[in-house]
Amino acid sequence: MTTKTKARPKVRVTEADFEKLAAIGRASRSPMPGATLLLEELERFAIVSEQSERRSKFVRLGSQVTYRDLVLQRERTVRVGLPGEANVDENRISVLAPVGAALMGLSVGDVFRWLGPDEKPREIEVLQIED
């Protein structure tokens, strides 16, 4: 499901967010592409303290993120949240959506690459993060 051609960027998460993401990952029983990606990323997360989190910005639950889809050449701004908070009309995406899972833990300038469920390459770059 994922591509190994280029190294993935460092990802960070607060302990509180990690606990929520781990519970969501464990509870997801269907082979959803976003859930699979989230489970892979859970293994890579570096858990940081709340004080560290304030010094460096990275995407966390509730963050508003502007990213560029480098394959489709378009920008989009979304708020990343829990599955029950997703709402297309309000640009809210779930961490179980492939893009939501990919964005978690990234910082401005990070590029994340993976293969979609159709085996086509996906690539996004984080442009801006607001909490």
Rounded CA gap, 104 and 58, in Å? 8
Give the pLDDT confidence score for residue 28 in this predicted structure. 75
Would the pLDDT of 3 be above 70? Answer: no
User: Looking at the predicted structure, is the pLDDT value of residue 114 above 60?
Assistant: yes
In this structure, the chain runs to a length of 131
Write down the pLDDT at residue 4: 45
* The two three-digit tokens of residue 90, written as one number: 């309000």
Q: Which amino acid is at 94?
A: S
pLDDT number for residue 131: 80
Q: What is the 3-state secondary structure (H, E, C) of the chain?
A: CCCCCCCCCCCEEEHHHHHHHHHHHHHCCCCCHHHHHHHHHHCCCEEECHHHHHHCCCCCCCCEEEEEECCCCEEEEEEEECHHHCEHHHCEEECCCHHHHHHCCCCCCCEEEEECCCCCEEEEEEEEEEC
State the Cα–Cα distance between residues 53 and 48, nearest whole angstrom.
Answer: 7
| Tens-digit pLDDT profile for residues 54-77 | 567 899 999 999 999 999 999 999
Q: Name the pTM for this structure.
A: 0.87
